[in-house]
């Protein structure tokens, strides 16, 4: 069986890492708090990839985020994807220059499709992760701008992203975000037939059993959580060990 991935997502804005619940944000701590409480010297043994998202809409603060990203990358030996405010090649190249292995894009997929094609052409599909924030309105609908602007049906957007040739999809349920109540698997019925693009499933993980359910699903390639409190301390490492003991298709690292 192909190995799947466990991913931790960090949300950052204006000097602080954040806890999100249904896209309502709460400040938790700065980067010193993060390193102290998440044992970054061993986090590479707990997760397969890290995603760091800049939620600040002030473009003047991008240099601050670049510094934070570089510091995080310096503390972990795993692939790191970074996103937020990627509207031009200058920002994209700066994120990669500061240690990102992949770029996470969202709003630009709606407003700047030619820019997404340019990113794919320049860096390759494998470098581009399209983030989708969705919830129900009769049918699964996609939202942008911190879940404030509706952008149409999820199925239509997925097909649009396939044409843009993005490398991965980060599928995040707004209504489950930060609740710790488990993922919403019903949305997988919306995935087009013969879908080939890897899916990172996010929104709702509160403990290892939720992660296990996601990793067991053949349509899901990676399970992600952004829950700072439920996986604080050695929580991520403990979750991975539990998943491995239960037979989850994760890589087993030699400590």
The model's pTM: 0.96
Instruction: Specify the number of domains making up the chain.
Output: 1
Q: Which domain holds residue 100?
A: 5-245
Task: Report how far residue 10's alpha carbon sits from residue 53's, in angstroms, rounded to the nearest whole number.
Answer: 6
Quote the pLDDT of residue 255: 54
CATH number at residue 130: 3.20.20.70
Q: Is residue 254 part of a domain?
A: no
For residues 231 and 254, the answer to whether their CB atoms sit within 8 Å is no
Tens-place pLDDT, residues 180-222: 999 999 999 999 999 999 999 999 999 999 999 999 999 999 9
Catalytic option among 48, 57, 133, 177: 133
Quote the pLDDT of residue 1: 56
Mean pLDDT of all residues in 160-167: 98
Mark whether 138 is an active-site residue: no
Q: Is residue 253 part of a domain?
A: no
Task: Report how far residue 181's alpha carbon sits from residue 218's, in angstroms, rounded to the nearest whole number.
Answer: 21
Q: Is residue 252 part of a domain?
A: no
Tens-place pLDDT, residues 57-83: 899 999 999 999 999 999 998 999 999
Q: Is residue 19 part of a domain?
A: yes
For residues 134 and 106, the answer to whether their CB atoms sit within 8 Å is no
Tokens of 203: 């929104």
For residues 11 and 226, the answer to whether their CB atoms sit within 8 Å is yes
Residue 162 has pLDDT above 80, yes or no: yes
Other Cβ atoms less than 10 A from the Cβ of 74: the count is: 10
Q: Is residue 98 part of a domain?
A: yes
Q: Is residue 251 part of a domain?
A: no
Helices (H), the chain: 31-38, 62-73, 89-97, 107-111, 113-123, 154-164, 208-216, 235-245
Q: Is residue 115 part of a domain?
A: yes
Q: How far does CA 122 lie from the centroid of its chain? A: 22
Task: Report how far residue 25's alpha carbon sits from residue 3's, in angstroms, rounded to the nearest whole number.
Answer: 33
């Amino acid at each position: 069986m192909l190995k799947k991935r466990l991913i931790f997502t960090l949300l950052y804005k204006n000097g602080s890492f954040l806890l999100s619940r249904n896209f309502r944000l709460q400040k938790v701590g700065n980067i010193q708090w993060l390193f102290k409480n998440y044992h970054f010297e061993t986090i590479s043994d707990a997760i397969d990839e890290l995603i760091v998202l800049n939620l600040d809409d002030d473009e003047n603060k991008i240099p601050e985020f670049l510094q934070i990203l570089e510091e995080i990358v310096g503390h972990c030996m795993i692939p790191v994807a970074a996103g937020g405010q990627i509207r031009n090649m200058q920002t994209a190249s700066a994120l990669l220059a500061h240690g990102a292995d992949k770029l996470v894009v969202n709003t630009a997929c709606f407003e700047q499709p030619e820019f997404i094609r340019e990113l794919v052409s320049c860096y390759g599909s494998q470098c581009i992760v399209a983030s989708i924030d969705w919830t129900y309105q009769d049918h699964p609908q996609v939202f942008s701008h911190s879940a404030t602007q509706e952008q149409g049906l999820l199925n239509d957007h997925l097909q649009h992203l396939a044409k843009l040739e993005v490398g991965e999809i980060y599928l995040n349920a707004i209504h489950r975000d930060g609740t710790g109540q488990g993922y919403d698997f019903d949305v997988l019925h919306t995935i087009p037939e013969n879908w080939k693009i890897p899916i990172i499933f996010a929104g709702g993980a509160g403990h290892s059993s939720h992660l296990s359910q996601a990793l067991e699903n053949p349509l899901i390639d990676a399970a992600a959580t952004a829950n700072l409190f439920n996986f604080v301390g050695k929580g991520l490492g403990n979750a991975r060990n539990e998943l491995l003991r239960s037979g989850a298709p994760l890589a087993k690292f030699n400590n």
